[in-house]
Structure 1
Amino acid sequence: MSDHPALEPELLTITEAAELLRAPVATLRYWRHLGTGPRSFRLGRRVLYRRDDLHAWVEEQSG
């Protein structure tokens, strides 16, 4: 995590989300196809993830 959370973007691309989760982009695409994994949504043609949803999903997985 950064010392400056206000500077971190709230919406992340699938590539940025994969980097945050340390998982391959293909894995996030597969989870999205299955309907599992962190919540995501489409904005036009782009798949986006909310940073808070990613953190919440990680917490759900760990306990």
Structure 2
Amino acid sequence: MTTPTTERLWTVTDVSAFLGIPIGTLYQWRHRRTGPRASRVGRHLRYDPADVRAWFTDKAA
């Protein structure tokens, strides 16, 4: 788990834009448990930007 920062949590749209992939792909990855870790805030998915960057770096290596 990462340390909390003052940076706001990312939405599905934010992560989709950062990774350059369709939103539907993020939902498929979540269903298959292969994408970056997300948390539910109420009924919304939110991503910690540090987790997304770490996941991306790990996959790119």
TM-score of the pair, normalised by structure 1: 0.82
The number of residue pairs the alignment matches comes to: 56
Aligned-residue offset at 1:10: 2.8
- The whole-number CA distance in structure 2 between the counterparts of 1:19 and 1:62 is 17
Q: Which residue of 2 aligns with 1:36?
A: 34
After the TM superposition, which parts of structure 1 deviate over 2 Å for at least 4 consecutive aligned residues? none
Please, which of 56, 59, 63 is the counterpart of residue 57 of structure 2?
59
Q: Which residue of 2 aligns with 1:6?
A: none
Percent sequence identity over aligned pairs: 38
Aligned-residue offset at 1:52: 0.4
**Is the radius of gyration larger for structure 1 or structure 2?**
1
TM-score of the pair, normalised by structure 2: 0.84
Mark the runs of 5 or more structure 2 residues left unpaired by the alignment. Answer: 1-6
Q: Which has the higher strand share?
A: 1
